Structure 1
Amino acid sequence: MTFKRGSFILIDYVARVKETGEVFDTTLEEEARKHEIYRADVFYEPMLVVLGEGWVVKGLEEALMEMNVGEKKTVEVPPEKGFGRRDPSKIRLVPLRMFRGETGLRPGARVEYRGMTATVRSISAGRVQLDFNPPLAGKTLVYEVEVKEEITDPLGKIKALLHRRLPSVPVDKFSLSLESGVLTVKMPGETYMLDGIQFIKRGFAGDVLRFLPEVSKIVFVEEYARRVEAKPEEAKTAEKPEEKPASEEPS
């Protein structure tokens, strides 16, 4: 049985550029290390995809719609269903002086220019050629993909959405309950002061309200309790007098 728009699935994949064989992305730590693209800040685990939402490139998403749980497939994605064709109008020459003080400026480097990210194509005669196309634009991609699981129950979907937004905290540290359309999320203490936690909560709430019609309201709970200090051992009301050894009887 194939999937439909809105299905929640977990996938593993290895993604390559067809022309060069270069691996540029994967959910598998072993593959990331093997191809020297491992990053310590990335969580290597099956990726959540809600089909029809554009969370993966169009060509891969179309293939996933026709797959089943446990199925593996090699999917070739042309540029128009991947990161698009390269647009020559997005290649510009800018004065080298605009990058005065910039370290690591070299062909292939990614730089920020006027609020946009570009790839340095060349440096010559006091000018820098910048390419504002996505790095994979114009390339045919090959995905080796496996559908690991489909999530169908509401609480399972909620947990998956929460983990997607906050992968650094194990989802089993949250207490979740859904009753009469109200989802209550009891937050673990380690999340209270996390950077960006309010944006994370807002994003998670938006996801849940969008994808789960059975949820009409979300309540986040943080608990703070008075710290009870350990009481010192109560002093003895009276100390027994030291017993003196009995005197010897005269013989």
Structure 2
Amino acid sequence: MADTKKIVHINFKAYFEDTGKMFDTNIEECAKENDLYNDKVPYAPMSYVVGSKAFYPEVEEAIANAEVGKEIEVSVPCEKAAGVRNPRLIELHPLKDFYRAEINPYPGMPVTLGNRSGTVMSVGAGRVKVDFNSPLAGHDLSYKITVVDEITDAVEKAKAIMENDFGSADDFGFAILEDKIVITEADVCKFHESWPVAKYRLVSDYRSVFGLDRVEFVEVWESAKKADDAKTE
């Protein structure tokens, strides 16, 4: 069985370089100190497949070469990050369209119109100005990253990929065989609307990391009595 990519746990802090303001982190204390805390976000070291291109190339390269336990700092210029701000992406929309959708817009409010995400800049007489530029556009960025550890166990790698792509590996089963990977689905998958899309990402990442072509997902249905008996054993 091949193992073509390494997986690490990382902690990160991301800043606007021009102001020094933090805009993202997976560290709970830092999130609270910088008014970024969200009680729906699980704050813990992030599972990261090195080479998955989830970060900008400069950050990706730094993570690949980082020493475990040593904080690194990487700068990403605007042109290589979210790009410069495009004035054509600032648009005026009728206020009545928001009311029709039961939205009461206010400056700074994130909104989705059609399939585009933007931020309300101002609300005037019958019109709403919305900026569809990325919130990162026009900014040089800075990242402080620490590789907490490298995951080497095959099953732990499979769990880490599940956490990264689906958000949780709880109640899943993992079997890494010579010619395939078998994932026993958690009960939540039967009802979770994002699971079908997550499976496509999982297949791609499992193939990439383990070098195997075959990925099997097993969906198990048990009677309520059998499930209750298993819990009491």
The TM-score bracket by the shorter chain reads: 0.7 to 0.9
Query: Are 1:118 and 2:118 an aligned pair?
Result: yes
Give secondary structure in 2 for the equivalent of 1:142.
strand
Residue matched to 1:216: 214
Q: Could you tell me how far apart the structure 2 residues matched to 1:167 and 1:114 are? A: 26
CA spacing shift, 1:33–1:59, aligned 2, 3 Å: same
| 1:206 partner amino acid | S
Task: Map 1:55-74 onto structure 2 (within 5 A).
Answer: 55-74=54-73
* Residue 139 (structure 1) aligned with residue 139 (structure 2): yes
SS at match of 1:74: strand
Cα shift readout 1:102-146 (whole Å, capped 9, x = no counterpart): 544122222222331111223335432221110111112222210
Distance 1:189 1:16 in 2: 38
Native 8 Å contact 1:184 1:221 kept in 2: no
1:169 to partner: Cα distance:
4.6
Q: Structure 1's 205 and 114: CA in aligned 2 closer, same or farther, altered over 3 A?
A: closer
Retained in 2: the 8 A contact 1:27–1:45? yes
Correspondence 1:106-185 to 2 at 5 A:
106-170=106-170, 173-185=171-183
Q: Secondary structure of the equivalent of 1:41? A: coil
1:193 Cα deviation from its structure 2 partner: 3.9
After TM superposition, the score normalised by the length of structure 2 is 0.81
Structure ranking higher on relative contact order (CA contacts 8 Å, 6+ apart): 2
Q: Aligned with 1:100: secondary structure?
A: helix
For 1:44, the equivalent position in structure 2 comes to 43
User: TM-score by structure 1 length?
Assistant: 0.76
Greater Rg over alpha carbons, structure: 1
Give the Cα separation in 2 of the matches to 1:86 and 1:39. Answer: 27
* CA 1:179–1:59: 2 relative to 1, 3 Å: closer
**For structure 2, which runs of at least 5 residues remain unmatched after alignment?**
none
CA distance in 2, matches of 1:219, 1:98: 43
Q: What corresponds to 1:15 in structure 2?
A: 14
Deviation of 1:220 after TM superposition, in Å, equals: 1.6
My pick for the range that moved more, 182-191 or 146-155, is 182-191
Aligned counterpart in structure 1 of residue 184 of structure 2, from 183, 186, 192 = 186
Indicate the percent of aligned positions where both proteins have the same amino acid.
30
Match of 1:34 in 2: 33
Contact 2:98 2:104 in 1 (8 A): no
* Aligned CA distance change for structure 1 residues 86 and 179 (closer, same or farther; 3 Å): same
Deviation at 1:18, TM superposition (A): 2.3
Alignment CA distance shift 1:223-1:78 (3 Å): same
**How far apart in 1 are the matches of 2:178 and 2:127?**
63
Question: More deviation in 51-60 or 34-43?
Answer: 51-60
When residues 180 and 168 of structure 1 are mapped into structure 2, their CA distance, relative to the original with a 3 A threshold, is closer
Post-superposition offset of 1:26 = 0.7
Asked if structure 1 preserves the Cα contact closer than 8 Å seen for 2:17 and 2:141, the reply is yes
TM-fit CA distance, 1:204: 2.0
Mapped partners of 1:222, 1:184: distance in 2 = 13
- Counterpart CA distance in 2 for 1:125 and 1:226 is 58
* Aligned-residue offset at 1:154: 3.3
Pick the structure with more helix per residue.
2
